[in-house]
């Protein structure tokens, strides 16, 4: 399985809505649908969500703030009111992390 999470060891794999018992990289077995996966993370105790999107899905939550990040500059231009950060400029080589 390929994860886009760097080189950190996976410390724990959780069921949907389960609270972590370990610190570090924790993965939740959650649905792929944006709102349902966020709901499970919030049920598990998440207080802030960094939500990556390519299409600019305009999701949010009344319980935990959602920071929406895209790596697609076109999406950012079209969805500026719904996407907080454009990481596309890093991918394009215009900015550094």
Tens of pLDDT, residues 39-85: 999 999 999 999 988 887 888 899 999 999 999 999 999 999 999 99
Portion of the chain with pLDDT greater than 90, in percent = 69
Q: Copy the structure tokens of residue 25.
A: 């990289």
In the block, tokens 């454009």 appear at 86
Domain residue spans of the chain: 1-46, 48-97
**Cα dist from 93 to 5, 39, 80, 90, whole Å:** 21, 34, 20, 5
Mean pLDDT over 10-14 rounds to 95
> pTM value?
0.78
Contact 66, 85 (CB under 8 A): no
Report the C-alpha gap between 64 and 87 in whole angstroms.
Answer: 22
């Amino acid at each position: 399985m390929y994860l886009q999470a760097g080189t950190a060891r996976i410390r724990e794999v959780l069921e949907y809505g389960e609270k972590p018992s370990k610190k570090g990289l924790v993965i939740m077995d959650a649905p792929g649908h944006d709102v349902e996966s966020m709901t499970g993370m919030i049920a598990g105790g998440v207080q802030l969500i960094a939500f990556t999107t390519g299409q600019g899905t305009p999701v949010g939550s009344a319980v935990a703030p959602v920071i929406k990040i895209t790596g697609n500059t076109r999406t950012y231009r079209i969805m500026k009111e719904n996407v907080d950060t454009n990481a596309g400029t890093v991918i394009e080589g215009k900015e550094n992390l």
